[in-house]
Structures are given as C-alpha cells and as structure tokens.
Amino acid sequence: MKKIMIIVTTVLLIVIVLFFGIKVYASNLTKEGLKNISYNELSLDEVEDGCYQGYYESGVFVKLEVCVKLNEILKIEIIEHSFSPIGSKASSIVDSIISRQQVEVDSVTGATLSSELIKAAVSNALNSK
C-alpha cells in the first residue's frame, strides 16, 4: 500500500511540474512573439477596390483575405490560423477592424498574441496593394 501511495504521489508531482512548465513556456513564447509583431497603419484612400491576402507568423500564424470597396474594408475572412483554443476567440477582432476601418483596435482579452497577428496580417494585406 505504501508503494502505491509513493507511485501515485510521484506521478501527481510530475504532472503538476509538467503543467506549470508548459504554462511558463507558453507565456514566454507569447511575450517573445509580441515583441516581434509590427504593422503599419494605412490610409484606405490609397487602397484600390479588391481583395488582398495577408499573412503573419510569430510563433503562431494567420492567413486572411481583406476585401475593400470604395475605400472601405467590407470583409475580412480568416483563411488559415494556427490558434490554440484560447486564441481562437481573437477572430472576433475582425468585427472591430471593420467597424473602425483601421487596424489600431484593442486586442481581444486573453488572446493578445492572436489579436496582434490578425492586425498585422490585415496591415500586410492592405500594404500589398
């Protein structure tokens, strides 16, 4: 009985250490990823009507398409995304970008890295004109 308790305790400790180790690693990855993200604001007056693809990668990646007509962002479609389940809620940021007609919008709480990647990919798409 004593051996079983020692084994169970050891396994439990290993699981706890792995959980916190992964959490710290992911946090550091996010911080490093955020340092590397950059995007340029763009006047929509300079963008011709059409649909443009944008891509950005920094630990995770996003590929999307931005459609512009009469100097207005009409649609942003996320084509491919390597989100974690938490980061997937960042896709709601496209509504903010469309309603404000700019990439300088607040990030989605709890999905900062993914939000910043989407903003950078939109900027890249509009700058690729």
The two structure tokens encoding residue 12: 């439990």
Nearest to 44 by CA among 114, 100, 94: 100
Q: Specify if 3 maps to a domain.
A: no
pLDDT, residue 64, reads 94
Which domain covers residue 58, as residue numbers? 37-127
Q: Kindly report, residue by residue over 4-39, the tens digit of the pLDDT.
A: 888 888 888 888 887 766 665 555 555 555 566 667
Least confident of 21-30, 35-44, 79-88: 21-30
Q: Please check whether residue 10 lies inside any domain of the structure.
A: no
Distance (Å, whole) CA 31 – CA 73: 30
Q: Residue 18: inside a domain, yes or no?
A: no
Residue 39 or 108, more confident: 108
The reply to whether 80 falls in a domain is yes
What is the number of domains present in the chain? 1
Between the alpha carbon of residue 6 and those of residues 3, 12, 38, the distances in Å are 5, 10, 51
Residue 9 falls inside a structural domain:
no
Q: Classify residue 65: in a domain, yes or no.
A: yes
Spatial contact of 112 and 37, defined as CB atoms under 8 Å apart: no
Does residue 90 have a pLDDT over 90? no
- Model pTM score: 0.71
Residue 12 lies in a domain: no
Residue 50 belongs to domain with CATH number: 3.90.1010.20
